[in-house]
Structure 1
């Protein structure tokens, strides 16, 4: 017989205490500091900020520590905290042309004005474990040479724009909807889709992007430009009558150059995909640009091939890892009443099947006699 598990507040309190003990680990090992996580696990911190929709490296590091390294749990903590913050105003759109680039590469043009900046990347490393990192201390190293500060760094797609070889980004001053304050509604305009992809789960968006490259969507893409760097955030102050700079944030921006389109009245030209994410998150930004382009099939007059990445409802409804986690993990919570009702139903059905089988067997015996 099925017996329901019994518990209460004491069991929950004990579970919390045990969780805190497991989070701390062996007390003889020095505890991780927030600064250590922030400075040495920057890519994890960047992902938590991006998918948590809150740019604060210290809070992201704290969330990672509290979540024992579970990044989705850390993202959940950041989103929950974000809901408690007041909305003081809106910043101006950031100017990525003025980005102080740490990394800037293009797969379409070799000779960029300002040059290609490889920056800090795993792209050119051998995927071999570096056992020197397991040593107690690392020898001091000379600081790498950072790219010199420069003026505006034009986007590669601007060069194609001059000849009309790529579609122009539509000029639209309409304030976009805020996905952090309003629920997702379908059909979704591109601005809303980009918000959902920017805070969507990196693994899911990566899988959708990969599917388009394997033929499940019209997406033969080149990385026109990938850039990572700091941009200034400005905010209009009504009392002053002008905008002031309130800080800098690090962003990753990707623009893809995709297969061309055209019509009887319009000459062929390349199309665009776009991704913009907090921090150094280039895999996410590239994936976002690929999925963005796949979702634009209708506005570009293309055929819907049935590919998952072309289906906005499918992509946007399943990209959010917090929603997915909540729905997935709720099934481990108590469902005793539901299960008992289904258990009784299965038992009843089994009794009916057994009774019919017994009746049929009795009929065959009587017929044989």
Structure 2
């Protein structure tokens, strides 16, 4: 097995789940971690047994000469860091969204070219419940899909008086995002739906805002159409009082032979009561991070395509941006 030396850029809240994913890999050494806040980087290094801490990514890359870097930083920093790694022959896995706009992603992908392997850490398609839906739909259990509806609910951006909403407490900068629920949350669902149904086009979109303190939208109603003509609807609200702080999902897949429904943790065919699949959503949250990291490692070692290769992820970005265009929001 080829031993891989990995470095980490970014020690924020989400890095915990990336690092647990890396710990689960065989033949991988975490050589260093970098963050402008040295205290954050040092805390993660101590927690995960990482020997070196840096505050400058270029310095880390020069000192460690890694095989690959996992970029877990704010979106505005992605392109410069990806280019920095590619210029040094370091393979890249980068958190989503890859860049703020499709045009910037296209430019970045062209600059990197084929110099290094390049995957986007878009992990919802690796969630075991969505992966099972994809497998069963593609196996023909519902026949030809005619209609699907994804409902997304959370209180992550709005809460009862006196309580700080979950995401605004963990990542307060999100309150200033001009593009919010589609850019930050539904981009995950769009990629998962692509993995289930294939490519889609945006037909219409309406955006709204419940929490007046936000800069961006927290409600979205979107219609898409698959290449086979199925209508796909996304109904999302991340300022839904009383719902859990993390998004809960309901996905109905209505086909000519049957209907398959994922209701939070339970997945069943509507034509029969049993059997049903009951997923552990807490375990699945970590599993999707580990799954994405595993796919990256496998792709590097075996030279096989990444499921969320930068070119594949570009299609997810185009859907995300297409929703804003359909809603009349300037990019």
**TM tier, smaller:** under 0.3
Higher strand share: 2
Q: Which has the larger radius of gyration?
A: 1
What TM-score does the superposition give when structure 2 sets the normalisation length?
0.21
What TM-score does the superposition give when structure 1 sets the normalisation length?
0.19
Higher relative contact order, structure no. (Cα contacts within 8 Å, ≥ 6 residues apart)? 2
